[in-house]
Every structure is written in structure tokens, then in C-alpha cells.
Amino acid sequence: MSLKHSAKILFKDLRLGPRSPIFLFVIVMPVLMTVVIQLVFGGLFAAEPRLGIVDLGSSELIAQAKKLDGIRVTVVKDEATLKRMVEANDLDAGLVLQPGFDQAVRAGEKPTLGFYISGESLASNRIILSVTALELVRGVEGKPAPVEVTVKTAGDATALTISERLVPLLVFYALLIAAVFLTAFSFAEERERHTLSAVLVTPASIGDMLAAKGALGFGLAIVMSVITLALNGSLKGEALALVLALLVAALMLTEVGLIFGTAAKDSKGLFTLMKSTGILFMAPVFFYLFPGWPQWIAKLFPTWWIIDPVVGVAVRGETLGGIWWTLVVALGICVLLVPLIALTTSRMQST
């Protein structure tokens, strides 16, 4: 195998790739799926509650409000501007503090507190900002709250939200269509157009072709999985562990893509092969969506060993020390796939 010949084939694919609907499909679909799913569940564009404050005096309430976590506070110059911003839903709610507001509260008086609510704001944001406004006033008054609230989690404290449970599906889909579908289809397309035979009469070998096609799918799988994690707010955790988990996942699926590409005689056969085996690849993902299912069953599928380390780091916050053994098993599966690639390649050349 020649690195130079493989690089030439790879650069050719990268240059011509944007012209291919399959190449564009691999790039667009994970992003589109993320946007649609996160819009449905309110995860991607769900902004923090937005509170505007007009201070006609010099209240200390603004300083307290700016220290709040999870609430975006904006100081507005006058009441008319605040009202327009709330009506336009640029703010979820707005407070108007009259001159001498702090002194009146501390004196036990009941000063007027202007409070505007946007008709288009989320009900949850309205509740949060209403309660927050009362707590801010109580803070100015200097009196302790009449009750102390202690939050306790009932059931599994590590349970994932529905949006977090969907992250494995989205990331695995990004990896799958790039590493498996693009790699296999690119190879099958070369055979259909008889360009594979044309390449092989040059100094380039079948190994160079496999390396180039594998590098294309592998690289794009890494890029799209990182973009998908970032869009879902899951690009976090230990960087080294996440990088290693994505590399191993992309490697295994790229090997599967090469097996499919060399085993299928044409695009129709490739689609049939992928449809018949797709459930075997996607099955482990459904165990994240339904945590009540026996989780040990998911480990029977080879792809669990590549998706769980990614989920462990990006969603559960695990470190390399917690996922290393799953990566070792996944690498062992990758090694076992190498002879299968050699077998399907040999059969392809003999036909």
C-alpha cells in the first residue's frame, strides 16, 4: 500500500464529494435531525428566562439579580422601552423599580412594583421570573424566607432527561452514515461506474483504494459526531477520553463500511445489505431511550461497545478510567473485523 497513492484518491474524493448527493446527505442529515428533535423537546433553542429591569432610582435589587444563575438579566433605560421589548418577546418579563423603592420596602411600606409579562413567553419562564421577583424584593427587605426548600431527587439520581437520552441516537446516526454508509457507497459507486478497474490499472492497488475510502468515512464521521455533540450541548467531559471514544467508534464503523462496500456488487445490493443489518447496529441506542429495559441485553450487540464510551463521557461525565475497558473490548472487535475485510476484498477481486 502506498501512502502517496491513497492520498491522491482521497483528495480526488474530497474534491468531487460536494457534487454527490450522498456526501451532502451525510453532512446535512445529522444537523437537520438535531435541529428537529431539539426543537420538539425544547433543548437546542430553549433560552434562559430573560428578565429586564428599569431602575428609576438606585436600587440594589439589580446587583442581586445579576448574580442569579440561569436567568439572563438586562438593564433597560426606561419603562417605554421595556414594555416594547416585552411585547416583542425580546424579554420574558420586565420589572420597573420606582425611585426610593429600597427605602420604602425596608420601611415596611408597599411600593408599586411594575411587572410586565410577555404573552409569548413559556409558562415555566413566567413562574420562574415571578418567584424570582418576589425573592429579590425579600432580599432587599432583609428578611429571611418563611420556608426553606430542600430539593431531593426521587428514584435514580443519575436518570437522563429525554433530550439526553436522544444524544446517543443522534451521535450514533452521525457516525453510522459517515463511517458506514459513505464509505460503502463510495466504494460501490466506483465498482458500478467501472472507475475502480481504471484506478487499479494504475500503480495504485486495492489496498490504496481501501485506505482512501476508509480515511474519507473515518474523518467525516469524527467531524460530524463532534458537530452533533456540540449542537446538543454534550461536547464536554474529559477531552482525551472523548477523543479516544470517538476514534474507536469511527474506526469500527469504518471497517464495517469497507466490508459492506467490498461485499456488495452494486448500490442496490448495498442498500439491501444495510437495511437487513441496520437494526443490529441501532439496537443498543434504544436501551438509552428506554432505561427500564434489561441493560445487559444491549451489551450483546457489538456497537454498544463503541456508543457507550461516547455517552459515558459526553452525557454521564465519566473519565478515561471509567471507559477504558469498553474501549479495549471495542478495539478487540476492530481487530476481528480485519480478516473479514480481507476476505470480502479477496472475493470481490475474484469476481
Is pLDDT above 70 for 263?
yes
Q: Which residue has the higher pLDDT, 70 or 54?
A: 54
CA atoms within 13 A of residue 306's CA, in its CB half-sphere: 30
336 lies in some domain: yes
Q: Residues with Cβ < 8 Å from 137, sequence gap 6 or more?
A: 61, 105, 113
Q: Cα(114)–Cα(282) distance, rounded to whole angstroms? A: 54
Instruction: Note the pLDDT of residue 308.
Output: 92
Handedness of CA 225, 228, 230, 233 (dihedral sign): negative
The answer on 114 and 175 residing in a single domain is no
**What's the average model confidence in pLDDT over 199-221?**
82
Is pLDDT above 60 for 160?
no
Instruction: Note the pLDDT of residue 175.
Output: 92
Instruction: Note the pLDDT of residue 161.
Output: 58
The answer on 309 and 192 residing in a single domain is yes
Find the domain containing 120 and state its range: 50-141
- CATH number of residue 122's parent domain: 3.40.1710.10
The answer on 264 and 133 residing in a single domain is no
**What's the average model confidence in pLDDT over 111-132?**
83
Residue 86, classed as helix, strand or coil, is helix
The answer on 36 and 54 residing in a single domain is no
Instruction: Note the pLDDT of residue 218.
Output: 94
Q: Residues with Cβ < 8 Å from 200, sequence gap 6 or more?
A: 206, 209
The answer on 245 and 126 residing in a single domain is no
Q: How many domains does the chain have?
A: 2
Residue identified by cell 471497517 is: 255
- In the chain, % of residues over pLDDT 70: 87
Q: Which residue has the higher pLDDT, 247 or 44?
A: 247
Element (H, E) at 74: strand 72-75
pTM over 0.75: no
152 lies in some domain: no
The answer on 220 and 319 residing in a single domain is yes
Instruction: Note the pLDDT of residue 147.
Output: 43
**What's the average model confidence in pLDDT over 225-237?**
85
153 lies in some domain: no
The torsion region of residue 306 among left (phi > 0), alpha (psi -120 to 50) and beta comes to: alpha
Residue 113, classed as helix, strand or coil, is strand
What does residue 106 show for φ and ψ, rounded to 5 degrees? Answer: -70, -25
Instruction: Note the pLDDT of residue 143.
Output: 63
Element (H, E) at 147: none
The lowest-confidence range among 275-279, 300-304, 324-328 is 275-279
The lowest-confidence range among 108-117, 171-180, 187-196, 231-240 is 187-196
Q: Cα(41)–Cα(54) distance, rounded to whole angstroms? A: 33
Q: How confident is the model at residue 156 (pLDDT cuts 50, 70, 90)?
A: very low
Q: How confident is the model at residue 271 (pLDDT cuts 50, 70, 90)?
A: confident
Instruction: Note the pLDDT of residue 163.
Output: 66
Q: Are 284 and 301 in contact (CB under 8 A)?
A: yes
Q: How confident is the model at residue 334 (pLDDT cuts 50, 70, 90)?
A: very high
User: Across the strands, what pairs with 54?
Assistant: 96
The lowest-confidence range among 132-141, 170-179, 277-286, 326-335 is 132-141
